[in-house]
Amino acid sequence: MTYEQITLFAIFAAVFALLLWGRWRYDLVAFTALMAGVALGVVPEEEAFTGFGHEATIVVALVLVVSAGLVRSGAVYLITRTLVDSSRRLGTHIAIMGGIGGVLSAFMNNVAALALLMPVDIQTARKAGRSPGLSLMPLSFATILGGMATLIGTPPNIIIASYREKALGESFRMFDFAPVGGITALAGLAFVALIGWRFIPNREDASAAGSGDLKPYVAELTIPEGNKQIGKRVAELTETADKADVAIIGLIRNDRRLYGNARHNLLQAGDALVLEATPGALEEFRSALALTFSDEKREELLRADGEGLDMLEVVVPAEARINGRTAQEIGLSWRQRAVLLGISRQGRRITEQVRKTEVEPGDILLLLVPKDTGPDVIDWLGCLTLASRGLAVTQDRMTWAAIGLFAGAVAIASFGLLSLPIALGLVVISYILLRIVPINELYDHIEWPVVVLLGSMIPLGSALEDSGGTQLIAGWLVQLTQGWPAWAILTALMLVTMTLSDVLNNTATTIVAAPIGIQMAQALNVSPDPFLMAVAVAASSAFLTPIGHKNNTLILGPGGYHFGDYWRMGLPLEILVVAVSIPTILLVWGF
């Protein structure tokens, strides 16, 4: 072996060891490795930062912003609120949630898809009186599987496409992954929904995990002019309220709060529903019925500057300006252009209108304020801010615009009229111009550690390939599989890639395994496509540990899982993935 090969193998071994150790963040490990490669002369200095401008890096960043836009526009609420029901049997619930998660993750980042659906799943479990651990792992696995079906579903597919373009001069298109990835995902989803969830330990003490910090508020939402709910009885909204995990506890008309027979009253424009809900549930219910906040006029004043709205949670100390007074008395709306949405007062019922309720020490207030004015409002009130839970006001007026723009970009990229980065870039610009994604939040939605990981590992992977290192590894694998049938060679490549992906970041695994697959194909004098597809599927199949994929890490706490719980469902699922994908690859792509 040459000096370059020995040095690069040592760098990659150190990267893998440090990632397994887990003491340092993966982006710091990758960037340190890149700098070491440059310092040791195995990565050309002029190519050190080419990975940060690589198409794969750009697409991953754009997909995260587009995903945020779909969430902020209410597009995802539109899907989930009509399909989720806590009264369903667990297997049916897992099948439906897994199906939604799989479809969403095919067209948006699978981490974002899980982050969006996880609170819905936890709330459904709480309402059904069961542990969320019984459904969170299937949901995580479903979102990982769904990402296999399209080019933008998961970073490994994006990286694989860029390696194909380098090897053959043409990238994989949007739905080239669908025949293999889609069929494998469907088989995996069927297993997870029908059989896999039965292997998960049922720990009843985890039933409150992840949801105990969700504080319910008493809040009000108003029926605006022209709303479709006008003329309906309050009781007719119960089904929608139940799906959003909202309790309707009263009705306000002409500043009078109605109880008892309020459920049978016909709704009129200007009526205010009195609700008990968490902030996320309140926003979902508002978006579903196109309601306005507690005072439509105040909401319009807040929106007047066009910069958007923020939702804040604050706790009231004894010395606060609002303590012992109402929001109306201190002029919260006209002095600070803020609206008091709700009050959380543990164990005690609020009997007045929210803005006319005297605030007490220890109350938690839910506020709606103009974008970026939160610190000033909190300081004026003399309250203390709670740790951010990522609360956001849904831009439900832009739901179909967001869906249409994204669908149009996918279609344009699929037909080859524009490259995927350009199409997604145009969607991001449109989302900013339409204020679906506030410009001051644009970079908050990009997962910068992933960008640094990609930008650092791509030059190292290229250097390993240029030095002949990947060809050397491919030669070892070819020798090992000498005389084996085609399916056995692909199986060996998939098993090696899967093993790496279960203990390492799937992006890093793909960067190492994709060139090896190409080199194996060249050594056998066959098309690299089946090898690249095998790597793409295997790199996304990280089901044995909580560290192999960020989705598995996200559910570890809320699901109340132990490290050893994952392999119970993950091992048979990985075996199924290999058994389904190998024949499909040979049938669709061949040699």
Which pLDDT does position 405 carry in this prediction?
Answer: 92
Whether 294 has a pLDDT exceeding 70, the answer reads: no
Which pLDDT does position 503 carry in this prediction?
Answer: 64
**Residue of 378 and 504 predicted with greater confidence:** 378
Q: CA torsion 262→280→365→314, rounded to 10°?
A: 180
Segment 455-459 shows an average pLDDT of: 86
Cα angle 453, 455, 458; round to 5: 95
Which pLDDT does position 298 carry in this prediction?
Answer: 56
Whether 309 has a pLDDT exceeding 60, the answer reads: yes
How many other β-carbons are positioned within 10 Å of the β-carbon of residue 366? Answer: 24
Which pLDDT does position 524 carry in this prediction?
Answer: 83
Q: How far is CA 539 from CA 152, 534, 580, in A?
A: 15, 8, 15
Cα angle 83, 84, 87; round to 5: 125
**Lowest-confidence range among 16-30, 264-278, 513-527, 566-580?**
16-30
Task: Of 284, 312, 189, 114, give the one whose Cα is nearest residue 577.
Answer: 189
Contact 143, 102 (CB under 8 A): yes
Whether 19 has a pLDDT exceeding 80, the answer reads: no
Q: Angle, nearest 10°, between helix axes 155-168 and 506-524?
A: 30
Q: CA torsion 286→291→292→293, rounded to 10°?
A: -40
Instruction: Give the separation between CA 126 and CA 132, rounded to whole angstroms.
Output: 7
**Lowest-confidence range among 157-161, 264-268, 387-391?**
387-391
Backbone angles phi, psi at 523, to 5 degrees: -65, -35
Backbone angles phi, psi at 552, to 5 degrees: -65, -35
84 CA to centre of own chain: 18
**DSSP assignment, residue 181?**
I
Whether 247 has a pLDDT exceeding 90, the answer reads: no
Task: Of 328, 391, 338, 394, give the one whose Cα is nearest residue 367.
Answer: 338
Domain layout of the chain by residue ranges: 3-206+446-588, 311-332+355-392
Which pLDDT does position 387 carry in this prediction?
Answer: 57
- Per-residue model confidence as pLDDT tens digits over 115-152: 667 767 876 787 777 888 899 899 999 999 999 998 88
**Residue of 295 and 218 predicted with greater confidence:** 218
Contact 373, 395 (CB under 8 A): no
Whether 213 has a pLDDT exceeding 50, the answer reads: no
How many other β-carbons are positioned within 10 Å of the β-carbon of residue 89? Answer: 9
Residues in the chain: 591
**Lowest-confidence range among 49-53, 234-238, 524-528, 557-561?**
557-561
Which pLDDT does position 306 carry in this prediction?
Answer: 52
Which pLDDT does position 388 carry in this prediction?
Answer: 57
Instruction: Give the separation between CA 132 and CA 319, rounded to whole angstroms.
Output: 40
Cα angle 53, 549, 5; round to 5: 55
Whether 216 has a pLDDT exceeding 60, the answer reads: yes
- Per-residue model confidence as pLDDT tens digits over 430-443: 999 998 888 877 88
To the nearest whole percent, how much of the chain has pLDDT over 90? 23
Q: CA torsion 33→38→43→44, rounded to 10°?
A: 150
| Ramachandran sector of residue 89 (left: φ over 0; alpha: ψ -120 to 50; beta: rest) | beta
Instruction: Give the separation between CA 524 and CA 541, rounded to whole angstroms.
Output: 26
452 Cβ neighbours under 8 A, 6+ residues apart: 27, 30, 31
Which pLDDT does position 11 carry in this prediction?
Answer: 92
**Lowest-confidence range among 67-71, 255-259, 445-449?**
255-259
Which pLDDT does position 38 carry in this prediction?
Answer: 95
For residue 136, what are its two tokens? 């969170």
Which pLDDT does position 138 carry in this prediction?
Answer: 94
Whether 351 has a pLDDT exceeding 70, the answer reads: no
Task: Report the chain's mean pLDDT, rounded to a whole number.
Answer: 83
Which residue in this structure is represented by tokens 């039965």? 198
Which pLDDT does position 569 carry in this prediction?
Answer: 94
Which pLDDT does position 204 carry in this prediction?
Answer: 58
**Residue of 349 and 332 predicted with greater confidence:** 332
- Per-residue model confidence as pLDDT tens digits over 314-333: 888 888 899 889 988 898 88
To the nearest whole percent, how much of the chain has pLDDT over 70? 88
- Per-residue model confidence as pLDDT tens digits over 57-91: 887 788 778 878 887 887 767 766 666 676 788 88
Whether 573 has a pLDDT exceeding 90, the answer reads: yes
User: What percent helix, strand, coil does the chain show, rounded to 5?
Assistant: 60, 10, 30
Confidence of residue 185 (pLDDT cuts 50, 70, 90): very high
Instruction: Give the separation between CA 405 and CA 400, rounded to whole angstroms.
Output: 8
Whether 346 has a pLDDT exceeding 70, the answer reads: no
| Ramachandran sector of residue 551 (left: φ over 0; alpha: ψ -120 to 50; beta: rest) | alpha
Whether 207 has a pLDDT exceeding 80, the answer reads: no
State whether the Cα torsion 89-94-96-97 is positive or negative: positive
